[in-house]
Structure 1
Amino acid sequence: MAELLHNPEKIERAHEELDQVAHGNEGTLQEPDIARLPYLQAIVKETLRLHPPVPFLIPHKAESDVQICRFQIPRHAQVLVNVWTMGRDPSIWPDPGSFVPERFVGREIDFKGRDFELIPFGSGRRICPGMPLAYRMVHSILAFLLRSFDWKLEQGVRPKEMDMTEKFGITLQKATPLRAIPMKVRL
């Protein structure tokens, strides 16, 4: 939500898509509707690129000497994958510090471990076992929150002045939490 509040034009585009899909369903959204919401899916992917749930994947040990790109990894070396840095790598992502969901619209990049430029849940046999549930829940919750509430910043705060600093730990979180202020329901 912080990235959407920081980029209000993205909220408007998401509202348009959600309203169009929900209009055909008498105003409600169901889990199968997520497949018809490419911009919402792009928002989730872009959020996971910029703000992965954890900065490092679970450490792995090399079972044999291996070379990956230009790097020689000796047998028994402990390997940490820094997904936070991968999501900000300018050799992979143009304008990596900006929230641009459009970079995923019409592209077949997913975060299920097949596309190594976006692996917030890991990949292969050590992929996070909760990823399928997280995938369904994050999309459904985001759609519900966007459809149900008017999202605004506190009075006097401009979107581009928001503090987007992250607090690092085992998980990543905003250093300054968002404050929820009750407002009228959007539906």
Structure 2
Amino acid sequence: MTDKRAEHLDEAMLRRRLAVRCALFLAAAGLLGLGIGWVANIGERLATGVCASALLIAVTAVPGRVTLHRDRARAGRHGLSLSRYAYLGEQIRRGRPPTDAALRPAVLEVAERQSLAVEQASSKPVQALRVSAIVLVTWPTVDRILRQEYGLGALYLCMILSTVWAEVSVRRRRRRLGTVRRKLDEHV
């Protein structure tokens, strides 16, 4: 089923999807920065929001550009375009790897890189860092809410929830990568 869907997605559509995702990611980073600056209220709200937005967009855009450059080189080694390679990674992340024999080397490489990322994200030091972050941010969260500074309390609470969500998503990714490995072993 995955291969049939991939055949119907032409290169132009995949390029548009990748461009839209990058643009939405940067827009979300800008809005998040604006919201954080607005809530933090350091000095003038609008100026702080604009500065935080610009900073978050820059911090997001530079690594994003480097990642796209590296993925373009990796895709070229397999004779794929960047957009096709990104789509392949998306399918693997969802636990539905293409079974096309021509894509197998690229699928194996992407699955291996994703496995390494999951292993790094679930290592003991990273888990200890997550627990420490939750513990360290819990008191200021409660303090801000009790002082009726709900904006900062909500910001801290979002930090705690995103840290917990990171652990949940690592577990889900590990499960899906196991599914990918089983499907690849079936089609050897």
For the superposition of Structure 1 and Structure 2, which TM-score range results when normalised by the shorter chain? under 0.3
Greater strand content = 1
TM-score normalised by the chain length of structure 1: 0.28
Q: Which has the larger radius of gyration?
A: 2
TM-score normalised by the chain length of structure 2: 0.28
Greater helix content = 2
- By relative contact order (CA 8 Å, sep 6+), the higher-ranking structure is 1
